[in-house]
Amino acid sequence: MAIHKIKIFTGRSSRYLAEKIVEKYGTELGNSEVLEFSDGEFQPSFNETIRGCTVFIVQSTFPPSDNLMELLMMIDAARRASAHQVIAVMPYFGWARQDRKDRPRVPITAKLVANMLTAAGADRIITIDIHADQIQGFFDVQMDTLYASWVFVSYIKSLGLDNLSIAAPDMGAAKRAALYAKKLQTPIIISHKERAKANVVGSMTAIGDVEGRNIIIVDDMIDTGGTICMAADMLMARGAKSVRAAITHPLLSGNAYERINASALSEVIVTDTIPLNPAKDLSKFTVITVADMLADVIERVHNYKEISSLYSR
């Protein structure tokens, strides 16, 4: 049993999720605020003592980059306020697609973010479905990667779909799709795409039995929606009975909402690591919360219990 008191705080972008986490945990959200200056600078502060406490800070780092900066500043403030331990709960770990040098003279930004989190004073990182598993090696502190399959699989089973198949939207998602297929005991379909340029898919084909199948495309994130929508349209054209998508992080930039609503997708299942835009047509979207999972993991981490049996792949 932990001897240090726990306190849970949140950055501004993830308050909606943090409120659900503390409700499930059975506590209250810590009192913090952000002072904004006219030139765009801001200064977060804790409005209660955290000396000797284990402090969890909930903040996804989706755009804009202010969300990452705010998290770094809150970690620094907690460390300077004599917190016993500072744990960053990052449901969505931004910049994770930049995990390597894929062409000359570019940064490895995921490593840079890892360095900044460590330099700010984070003792541990908790995240969900990080884009590239090797990013865990960028940290010299503990990093716990949870998997949204634990909330998605039960929902998929509840749909009661016959002739179910799991599909990967590209070769990079094949490993993730294979894990879902194993849990659901279904066949797997691999979509092969060729990009014309970044965020633009040139052509696509499918490997696997498509005709008459109810297909669910799985991936860790959806940005512009181009790949997912093209895959859905292609699978329906090849005789699929229905096509859904189960995507952990709904970035949904540009005209992604409109593209999804115009596509062959019958349903897009996402988590609340990133909030949906309420001004858009959300009729195709189903949101599954990760608050219960995160509250459980926070309790286990705080009380030095193992988490791998619950949230490993």
Task: Give catalytic residue positions.
Answer: 193
Query: CB of 278 within 8 A of CB of 252?
Result: no
Euclidean distance between CA atoms 29 and 192, whole angstroms: 45
Burial of 28 (0-12, 13-18, 19+ CB in 10 A): exposed
C-alpha count within 13 angstroms, C-beta hemisphere, residue 24: 16
Question: Strands (DSSP E) along the chain, which ranges?
Answer: 6-10, 32-36, 42-46, 54-58, 85-90, 124-128, 142-146, 164-168, 188-197, 200-207, 214-222, 242-250, 267-271, 285-288
Number of residues written out for the chain: 313
- Which stretches within 30-140 are classed as H helix? 66-80, 109-120
